[in-house]
Structure 1
Amino acid sequence: MKKYLMMLFLAWYGTAVSFGQVAGSKIKGTLLDHQGVGIDGATMSVKKQSDSSLVKMEFSEANGSFIFSGIAPGIYLLDVNLMGRRVYQSVSLAITTGLPVLDLGSIRIQEQQQSLKEVSIVSKKALIEHQIDRTVLNVDALISNAGTTAMDVLEKSPGVRVDQNGQISLKGQQGVTIFIDDKPTYLSGADLEGYLRSLPATTLDKIEIMSNPPAKYDAAGKGGVINIKTKKQKLKGFNLGINASAGQGIYTTTNNSIDFNYKNNKINVFGNAGYSFRNGASDLHIYRNYRDEAGNHTGSFDQQTFLRRKGWGINGLLGADYSPSELTSWGVVFTGFLRKPNSNNLSENVINDAAGKLESLVKARNVENGTSDNFGANLNYRHLFKKDGPDISADLDYLRYGSGNKQDYVNDIYNADRQFDHVEGLNGNLKGNINILSAKVDYTHPFSGKLKLAGGLKNSFTETDNVADYSNTLGGLTTPDYDKSNQFKYKERISAAYVNLNKDFDRWSVQAGLRLENTDSRGRQLGNIMKSDSSFKRNYTGLFPTLFIRYQLDTSGNQQLKFNYGRRVERPYYQDLNPFISPLDKFTYYVGNPYLLPSFSQKVELTYVWKKFSTSVSYSSAKDEFNETIEIKDGIYYSRPGNIGSSKVLSWNIDAGVDPLSWLNLQFYGELTRIHSKSDFYSGLLDNKGVFTYLQGIAQFKLQHGWNAQLDGNYQSKVTNAQFVVGEQWRMNMGLSKTLSPKTTLKLSVSDIFRTQITRGTINNLNLTDAGWVNRGDSRRAVLTLSMRLGQMKANRPDKRSGADSEADRVKQ
């Protein structure tokens, strides 16, 4: 009953409408104080006079000048805000067709006598913003994000889903590339999941979702790009933010962060730090039923596991900008994190014969103690040759990742009479290092007639070294396990160049780009006394075009049609190319695949926007798509990455938001997706297809006396993707916040109120085997968060520094 109420609740949101974009004339002027001096960093807003809806926001320059571009014909108001309050509002401003520029001249702001402590910051960002090539989620707009992590925020983002293994997909497609502040994470799998779960949501500013990124972004990641923007305060003087939270589910967790900045004239210093303690558990049930060629049942395997995972993590950022002039800036940023994850898993494995009689029983105790650390350094430069003129930017990045994992697997073996027989032990010591050096330069040149040309070059070099030492213990005797012990080294160089052209017409906007990438990679598997050396080399070049077209169906820009096309590549994760075997337990092994090919894909998308409503249809086709594949031999379960010959995805979605009452805001996202996978497989031909539905709704309530509330939830129907069928699931969350003072907020959030987020599924195309799983985690959790801001409250211009774009987050450790 709860599930049907949830589906009805989400479907009700489907009557909402969404945000749109406009383009056209310019509004410019100069903002002066009462002494005639230019005001730096004032918040300038252009709003529609009819309903006061926000059209565009900018910040005044150091000399007080400001300019708004792309304003469609209509009647507008100009608001000026200083220190969080409005100090000026214009008379009606009329923009007519054919008017290129509306010059307001000098606007003088009279001296304000009210002290800072009396000022209340009341500005509020929209939850969702739609741009020509991306969707932006403003993190602080969701109360339920308080005290959570970056991974939790992604799970609430429109079109984004995270599976039980931490794999991220966008609009039904895997292979999503993750960026942090326009820089690659170079992580994947469990390591990426661990990092995102250690990054407090309070350190995040926004999530940029690009299902078809423009040519400036590297071509890697067929599922698109998700760019996580962290907070970089740019306030004059000294500013400090503190966030402390505690969460309680079955176990207690905490997420805490602090950020600061100091800006004085030409120098800005900023930083943040976070500490998190992860503490969770889940119950995992795995079953496998065996049959013969005639279809008769021959036996079964049943595994019940209690997974206990905990660990702490710290992360930090320290940066500085120096601007010798208004046209030039230099910057340096240092980043790092340290994580200490631990898992202690207890499982009981029952093997029965065809009659259901016990053949053997294995009780396992698997303990893993890991470490993961990172250091990154970025040097960036930007220069504008003149105001509103050409600009050039350059970035040099160095990243180092280290990891280690000590594994102790103990298996107690019992006979058919449940009598103890013997004990088996497996010990592993895994170490890994990754070094990445990247350099890039971008140049943009605007021309008259609303034409802009951009281009750039990039070169990156990656080197990895991974070592695994295993030993077996039986009867008190320990011997090396040469079948599992290995050392794998990998080197890769990617060279790229791109060109991008933007042109705005009366109602048309066109953006076209072309990217060229060359990849040269070399891998070497070092041998041992039982295994010989092996190596491989690959070199390939690809062209990746992109095209974005936008047409305004009316002069006001209320109705728009948008079209985009792109070709992309997905390269194998570094660790997936390692051919050796890594155990997960006695009956389950992970095996690498040195024969993985790069996967190339194409995607086309058409979007219609009407006022605050948007809907889109997309189609993508991929060749040699990467996916987890499962093979069973002699009752042992082997998981390895493989190329799926053909994968086609057709998707329709709607994204909407409406304010039916002054105190109520509704957001809705709905998606209907069909996936068809076809490939040669271990057991013959794999040809699976299926349609699934995903619904997401958010209701925000603005109450009296500084109180706000939120209710959100999502529903996903059964999903068929390649070899796997994942069952339906849903969840509901709630949040409550109280503004204690202009600088202090208290928030309470509860995730998965009914604890319905249970992952279950089946595995197809197994040789004479039916298999599936059910996983129930500690998903219901209450989190209390206190947020405080100290220091100056006058904003400067936002940071426009760009970092090295990702070639891929392809590290799997």
Structure 2
Amino acid sequence: MKRISIILTLLSASTYMRAQQEIPDSIGSQNLQEIVVKGERPQIKGEDGIMVVDLPTIVKDKPVTNILEALGYLPGVVSNGGEIGLSGASSVSIIINGEPTTMPLQNLYQLLYSTPVERLKNVEIMYSAPAKYHVNGAVINIVMRTPRPLDGLMGQATLGYNQANYASYSGGLNAAYAVKDWTFDMNWSLVRKQSYNRQETYSNHRLDGTLHNIEDDMSQIGKAWTNLVYAAAAYKKLKFSYNGQITSGIRNMSLAAGTFGDFKNIYEGLSPTSYHNIALRYETPFGLTIGGDYTHYYENRCQNLFRGDVEQINSENYQNITRWHAYLDQEHSIGVWTLGYGVDYQHSDDKSRQTYIFPQQRGFDNTLREDVASAYIGGQASFACGLSFNASLKAEYFHNDYRHNWNMIPQLGATYYETPKSIFQLNVSTQRVYPSYWELHGGTSYINDYSVILGNPTLQPYMNYSGQLSYIFRQKYAATLYALYADDYFVQLPYQSTSDLHLIFQTLNLDYSRTVGLQLHLPFDVKNVWNVTATLNVYHARQKSVKFHDLSFDNKRWGIYAGWDNTIRFTPTSPVSLSVSASYMAGMIQGGGCMDPLWKIDAGIKWQFGKKRCCEIDLKATDIFNICNPTFKIDFSGQDYCMKSHDMNHNIKCTFVWRFNGFKPKNEVNIDTSRFGAGQ
């Protein structure tokens, strides 16, 4: 909410003139006092089936400094352990400024983490993204501010310290500059991350009529340096960008003690893991957009597994991926209608290898080639009656060395309102979800003598169908009724083998996954000093498989997510703000297993100071009571397994920010979900 002071000069003058005519001369004229009008900026707008959210206003007093943290305050968005999910959607892709390209998920999060929240203009939530974005399903589109020549050089520097079990450090520099028809952007960050978590597992494994009680207590410690460089230059409608991310000093070690003895498992990078993306995009004056990008990903690491002092496994994983992507879009405006059509092509070569030095056993060394081609036609229109919509139909062809298929992917997004205070939105979409490259090679990784991770060359992509009906009241309150259905849904699950004493982790196709639910987003503001946002998501989930290895399951359960976020300022203009939030989750399922309920409380403080408040210190404590640690259980058809996690979210983070010259530039990187990475 913001206050607007208006001095009504003309109204005062006209009132005075009428007073001279209608009131006796014995009564003197009276001047009007300054009138203060309280207004409230809309938090949510709707058009063409798209929710436009004023996220900068929502997070302005909250202890967040980067876009990744800010996304957690979007309506319907849940940030769990730093991973972004959207209630009412099975998965969500993130793009920036509506431009398609590719990036591994971990690289995307690192980029968003290093991008200042001041770059934001607004955020668009699309439960069914139009085909012109070249991303299927739900999308969060981050719209950035554009620098102007009058702004000069603008920038921001940050320093961060994060204390969990171990300390992590970060630093970054962002800058933007515009001159005549040119704009330039730069983003650099360096992060030294050290992580720790712990899992206790209890497996009651029945084999040949004998019950084996197997326990394990494993601690995992990870270290790495991550270096990110992003640079972009644009001349009018021609844009060029480079994004490079290099992770070095990678060392992940797990120490386990249990029924089968003491184990030390070391995963170490033999060379830095690198990601490089170069993108080019041009928009013509007559509605034609041409673009493309080139991506290269490289990873090479080794595994050494010891039981006591005796080496049991010595292996090497190698992955080298190149991917080319090109697209063409054309739009025509015909009255209230906009007609669009286009084509998209992507080719990738995944050269992966797994070699066992000890013991001698079979690995793999092959190249997986993949082609995805599509063509679409769509249109959008807005009518005076308050109805607006966008719809498209895309034909997609998928081909790799093992399979090929055609898919028809329809999409519809519609908005209707008589007044902006009452808005209805309908979204329907279809999405084909593909497995990671590494899993399709069928490699094997060992955790210890008992637990093993298997790839799956027979893994099939699955089709996800979704529908959402939303009601937005007074451009701030939102309710969404949704239904999700994933045919041949896949997920990684543990399985107690019935042929030998091994616990197998493998990604398998299920029959289906189905979820229906209702989500509510309710923000309140009390006298400009206390802001409250309540979130509630109630749903029923079901996952079924008639052939899970040699078993079957039909798991269904009611679930709930409830969140309560508070931000307090001592006065409307106070440079200090406090934030306290609480959340509760229950009823989550995964395959034939389920999660115990989770809850946590976070708190933070933001202090702005310096000339024009150019400096800022943010202090945030996450999961203060260290209680948000999931427990996963499986208990069906003789499967009896439990995993308890510890120290998942508990940490304290302090960030210092210095901005110069009113820093509010943009960023031009756009991302989809990741399929890269040599899994373990």
Cα gap change, 1:727 to 1:162, in 2 (>3 Å): farther
**In structure 1, which of residues 732, 736, 739 is the aligned counterpart of residue 605 of structure 2?**
736
Cα distance in 2 for partners of 1:723, 1:252 equals 37
Aligned to 1:773: 643
**In structure 2, which of residues 342, 350, 354 is the aligned counterpart of residue 464 of structure 1?**
350
**In structure 2, which of residues 454, 458, 476 is the aligned counterpart of residue 595 of structure 1?**
458
2:602 maps to a residue whose letter is N
**In structure 2, which of residues 257, 261, 269 is the aligned counterpart of residue 348 of structure 1?**
257
Cα distance in 2 for partners of 1:411, 1:231 equals 55
**In structure 1, which of residues 252, 257, 260 is the aligned counterpart of residue 172 of structure 2?**
257
Aligned to 2:496: 632
Structure 2, gaps ≥5 residues long: 12-38
Cα distance in 1 for partners of 2:256, 2:85 equals 30
> Which structure 2 residues correspond to residues 116-135 of structure 1 after superposition, within 5 A?
132-134=49-51
CA RMSD in angstroms comes to 3.2
CA shift, 1:668, in A, is: 2.1
Cα gap change, 1:510 to 1:124, in 2 (>3 Å): closer
CA contact (8 A) 1:280 1:308 kept: yes
What is the SS of the residue equivalent to 1:384?
coil
Cα gap change, 1:686 to 1:183, in 2 (>3 Å): same
What is the SS of the residue equivalent to 2:109?
helix
CA shift, 1:183, in A, is: 3.8
Aligned to 1:159: 76
Cα gap change, 1:615 to 1:266, in 2 (>3 Å): same
**In structure 2, which of residues 341, 353, 374 is the aligned counterpart of residue 496 of structure 1?**
374
CA contact (8 A) 1:262 1:268 kept: yes
Cα gap change, 1:373 to 1:602, in 2 (>3 Å): same
CA shift, 1:175, in A, is: 4.3
CA shift, 1:703, in A, is: 2.8
1:367 maps to a residue whose letter is I
Aligned to 1:759: 630
Count of aligned pairs between the two proteins: 632
Cα gap change, 1:364 to 1:198, in 2 (>3 Å): farther
Aligned to 1:453: 339
1:380 maps to a residue whose letter is R
What is the SS of the residue equivalent to 1:576?
helix
Aligned to 2:585: 716
CA shift, 1:310, in A, is: 2.0
Cα distance in 2 for partners of 1:468, 1:239 equals 47
CA contact (8 A) 2:77 2:84 kept: yes
Aligned to 2:234: 321
Cα distance in 1 for partners of 2:554, 2:387 equals 42
Cα gap change, 1:135 to 1:645, in 2 (>3 Å): farther
1:429 counterpart = 2:316: yes
Aligned to 2:562: 695
**In structure 2, which of residues 258, 264, 268 is the aligned counterpart of residue 365 of structure 1?**
264
Aligned to 2:407: 542
**In structure 1, which of residues 372, 375, 380 is the aligned counterpart of residue 276 of structure 2?**
375
Aligned to 2:295: 399
CA contact (8 A) 2:2 2:41 kept: no
Aligned to 1:95: none
Q: Percent identity?
A: 18
Cα distance in 2 for partners of 1:500, 1:582 equals 45
Cα gap change, 1:128 to 1:561, in 2 (>3 Å): closer
Cα distance in 1 for partners of 2:10, 2:371 equals 58
1:652 counterpart = 2:518: yes
CA shift, 1:378, in A, is: 0.8
Cα gap change, 1:167 to 1:610, in 2 (>3 Å): closer
Aligned to 1:411: 307
What is the SS of the residue equivalent to 2:457?
coil
1:582 maps to a residue whose letter is S
Aligned to 1:335: 243
CA shift, 1:265, in A, is: 0.8
Cα distance in 2 for partners of 1:546, 1:617 equals 18
What is the SS of the residue equivalent to 2:460?
coil
**In structure 2, which of residues 597, 613, 619 is the aligned counterpart of residue 748 of structure 1?**
619
> Which structure 2 residues correspond to residues 523-542 of structure 1 after superposition, within 5 A?
536=402, 538-542=403-407
Q: TM-score, normalized by length of structure 1?
A: 0.72
Residues 242-300 of structure 1 show CA distances to partners (whole Å, capped at 9, x for unaligned) of 11111222221122211111211122221110111212211210110134688xx7220
CA contact (8 A) 1:544 1:568 kept: yes
What is the SS of the residue equivalent to 1:216?
helix
What is the SS of the residue equivalent to 1:573?
coil
Residues 644-690 of structure 1 show CA distances to partners (whole Å, capped at 9, x for unaligned) of 11221101101122223221222222101111112222243211101
CA contact (8 A) 1:400 1:435 kept: yes
CA contact (8 A) 1:627 1:641 kept: yes
Residues 680-704 of structure 1 show CA distances to partners (whole Å, capped at 9, x for unaligned) of 2224321110111001222122334
What is the SS of the residue equivalent to 1:585?
coil
CA shift, 1:423, in A, is: 2.7
Cα distance in 2 for partners of 1:301, 1:261 equals 57
Aligned to 2:393: 514
Cα distance in 1 for partners of 2:66, 2:625 equals 18
